[in-house]
């Protein structure tokens, strides 16, 4: 299903309006070849305010169309890949790479705790940064 149709269906199912800014933000995140920040979106779509961008990203996360991922420096990046997966983060350049998930047993949580999602981040140096450091 196309990104516009996915968003439109999800919004209409909740009785919310399909707006051009929502479509624009979702199109950008869905087509980006990497994880994006609100600044990346604003650079590409400068007519949208940061308030609109952040509220749209929050909505897209609620709808399950993007995943918010924390970074080493506290800023959030948004990932259009919403299936279970982990990340490797370069501590030098900050690039983030998708990794296939590793199984963490549900028993890993405290007694009575129901695991709904895991987020594992491997932190190190990417190959490019390691090469340039030599």
* % of residues, the chain, pLDDT over 70: 95
Q: Where are the domains of the chain?
A: 3-79, 86-132
pLDDT reported for residue 31: 95
Determine if the pTM surpasses 0.75: yes
DSSP state at residue 112: T
Instruction: Identify the pLDDT of residue 42.
Output: 98
- The whole-number pLDDT of residue 75 equals 80
pLDDT at 104: 64
Distance, in Å, from the CA atom of 29 to the CA atom of 103, rounded to the nearest integer, reads: 27
pLDDT of residue 50: 98
Comparing 40 with 117, the larger pLDDT belongs to: 40
Looking at the domain that runs over 86-132, which CATH code has it been given? 3.30.1490.190
Q: Phi and psi of 36, rounded to 5°? A: -120, 155
Least confidently predicted of 56-65, 70-79, 83-92: 70-79
Task: Tell me what the mean pLDDT of segment 27-38 comes to.
Answer: 94
- pLDDT digit string, tens, across residues 41-74: 999 999 999 999 999 999 999 999 999 998 887 7
- As a whole number, mean pLDDT of residues 78-101 equals 90
Rg (CA), the chain: 17
- Of 11, 26, 21, 4, the C-alpha closest to 80 is 26
Query: Can you say how many angstroms the Cα of residue 81 is from the centroid of all Cα atoms in its chain?
Result: 7
Q: State both tokens at 131.
A: 């090469």
Domain covering 3-79, topology: Arc Repressor Mutant, subunit A (1.10.10)
Pairing of strands 67-70, 76-79: antiparallel
pLDDT on residue 111: 80
Contact 45, 25 (CB under 8 A): yes
């Amino acid at each position: 299903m196309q990104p516009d149709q996915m968003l439109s269906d999800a919004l209409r199912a909740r009785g919310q309006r399909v707006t051009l800014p929502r479509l624009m933000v979702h199109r950008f995140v869905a087509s980006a070849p990497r994880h994006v920040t609100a600044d990346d979106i604003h650079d590409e779509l400068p007519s949208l305010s940061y308030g609109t961008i952040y509220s749209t990203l929050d909505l897209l996360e609620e709808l399950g169309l993007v995943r918010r991922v924390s970074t080493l420096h506290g800023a959030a990046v948004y990932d259009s890949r919403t299936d279970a997966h982990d990340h490797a983060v370069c501590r030098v350049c900050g690039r983030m790479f998708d990794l296939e998930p590793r199984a963490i047993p549900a028993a890993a949580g405290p007694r009575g705790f129901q695991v709904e999602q895991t987020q594992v981040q491997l932190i190190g140096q990417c190959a490019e940064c390691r090469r340039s450091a030599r």
